[in-house]
Structure 1
Amino acid sequence: MAVDKSVLVYERVSRETFSEEICHKRLPAVLRGLDLGHATRRWTADYLKEKVGKRSVKLHVCPTERMDFVGKNFLYKTLPFDEFVTRASKSTQCEFFICKEEKYYLRSLGDDPRKDVADIRLQFPELAGDISIPQLFSQEKLFSSVFRISSAGIHLWTHYDIMDNLLIQVCGHKRITLFHPSDALYLYLCGDKSAVLNIDDPDLTAYPLFNQAVKHVCYLDPGDVLFIPALWFHNVVSLDFSVGVNVFWKQLDDKFYDPRDTYGNKDLLPAARAFQIGDRAVKALQELPDDYCDFFARQLVSRIQNKCYSKT
Structure 2
Amino acid sequence: MFVHPQFDPVAVALGPLAIRWYALSYILGFALFIWLGRRRIRQTLAPVTVSQLDDLLTWGVVGVILGGRLGYVLFYQRDAYLADPVSILKIWEGGMSFHGGFLGVLLAVLLFAKKRHIPFVKLLDFVAPLVPLGLASGRIGNFINGELWGRVTDPARFWATGFPQAAHADQMLAAANAQYAAWYAQFGMLPRHPSQLYQFALEGLCLFALLWWFSKKTRPTGQISALFLAGYGVFRFIAEFARQPDEHLGLLGAGLSMGQWLSVPMIVGGVLLFVICGKHYR
Which structure has more relative contact order (CA 8 Å, sep 6+)? It is 1
Q: TM over 0.5: same fold?
A: no
TM-score using structure 1 length: 0.25
Higher percent of residues as strand? 1
